[in-house]
Chains A and B, each alone.
Chain A
Amino acid sequence: MPMIIMIAYHAITAVLLALAVWNFIRERERRQDLVLYALIMVPLLLRLLRWK
């Protein structure tokens, strides 16, 4: 069971990261939002890479 949850968690992390990347690429007006998207990606990337 924990393994299934772990896999689901990584899948959710990947989806959130994809959304953040998508928004980052699409954003054209609000520069503050660009910075926020970039910051949000840091922990998601670290977890997906299994570094932290």
Chain B
Amino acid sequence: MRRDRALKLLLAAVLAGLVLWGGLPLRRHRHFGVPIVKGPGVTEVRKLSDYSPGLEGTMADTSVFVLQGREPGGKALIMGNTHSNEPEGMLAALIVIENAVVEKGTLFVIPFFNNSGSRNTRPGDGYPLYFDVATDWGARRFRFGNRDASPLDQWPDPDVYIHYPERQLLSYIDVRNTNRTWPGRAGGPLMERVTFGAMELIRREGVDIAVDVHGAETMFPVTNCIVAPEKSVKIATLASMTVKAAEGFESHVEPSPAGFRGLSHREIGDHSEAMPFLLEAPIPFLDQPTGPKTVRLLLDGKDPFLLSLSKKKKLFVPYDEDGWPLEKRVGQNLSVTLEIFRQFTKRTAARPIDVRGVPRYADVVASGVGRFLADPSKAAPGAVVVN
């Protein structure tokens, strides 16, 4: 009897240990706040729930940074972390927030678009919970999330996700994927409320350009590109040609398929006046046949298995011993975004978007991403927003 009780106590202690050992890091990750420094161009910080009240008080609500220009002009929206395991989008958005000065027009920047997804992880793939970017003043830590929102915030998943309003049948998991739930609805599942908030922002503010910044596998054909629907394709093509000629990197144009619903590059254009663009930079970390999913692979993009596949011409991008580092991916996203603004301004002189202070591809490749990230500990009081 006494031995039984001792065994039970031991097992209960082991159980408690397992729960704490496995669960506490996940809890800490879910509640880890990323400090964002309001740069010289930030004039206001709003919440996405200002446009979609159904988000208020949920983990999916997120900050919207407004950079009002000195002169009026066109309006653009930049979204990062639509997929929170593609940090080159979030970092590009963060660099804009912390560095940009808008001369003409207005920028709206949402660095953590799928905020719930950035608090989720993929333990089955051994995802790291955080990654650090080296800076001149030390390391800056970020949450590394998952493609989809956390089931703690949106559950249950349906057997099949029926897209609203087209009723196309999509994979069940896409109900938590903020690049399948566009254009969303006010009272839909949580991720539809997120995309509805962005659609409302676009419609109410009269946004001209919406840039959704992503990363994609090197073995996926839609990578290293700008995805654009019919209404955006001219500007996308000019931006693609210009960055190739002037900055020496490739980012070809992919047409947005009209029959595939729920994607930002399709639905934003179909449900508003805005021209959508989706940027894809190659991120080796997301490829399936790689070594362990380490922070190092995430940052430098070097993997021997991909190198071997590259020699067999199985990848859709050039790949060598240098990998595909974060600097290239973020720099590429920034240059293409700036070039889209420039091409839009050339074609629509009445609504110029003139942004200064944002580094381009060569600057980021030469100096590193961290060079353009501010130190939150040295920011002025009230200049840090925790997301």
Contacts and interface: CB of A to CB of B under 8 A. Distances in A.
Given A42-B18, A46-B22, A51-B27, A9 B12 contact: no
A9 B23 CA distance: 20
Given A34-B7, A34-B8, A51-B26, A42 B156 contact: no
B8 A6 contact: no
What class of interface size applies to chain A in its complex with B? 20 to 34
Interface string B1-25: 0001001100110110011001110
Given A2-B155, A2-B189, A52 B23 contact: yes
Contacts of B24: 51
Nearest to B157: A2
A52 B14 contact: no
A42 B19 contact: yes
A16 to B, nearest CB: 15
Interface string A22-52: 0011001001001100110110011001111
Given A2-B156, A42-B18, A34 B11 contact: yes
Given A2-B156, A6-B156, A9-B155, A49 B11 contact: no
A46 B156 contact: no
Task: Give the one of B7, B15, B22, B156 with max A CB within 10 A.
Answer: B15
A44 to B, nearest CB: 10
A49 B18 CA distance: 14
Contacts of B23: 45-46, 49, 51-52
Interface string B115-159: 000000000000000000000000000000000000010111000
B54 to A, nearest CB: 11
A24 B8 contact: yes
A42 B15 contact: yes
Contact of B156 (A9, A24, A35, A39): A9
A38 B19 contact: no
Contacts of A5: 155-156
Given A34-B8, A51-B27, A52-B23, A2 B154 contact: yes
Contacts of B11: 24, 34-35, 38
A31 B156 CA distance: 35
A6 B11 CA distance: 30
Interface of B: 4, 7-8, 11-12, 14-15, 18-19, 22-24, 26-27, 30, 152, 154-156, 189
Interface of A: 2, 5-6, 9, 24-25, 28, 31, 34-35, 38-39, 41-42, 45-46, 49-52
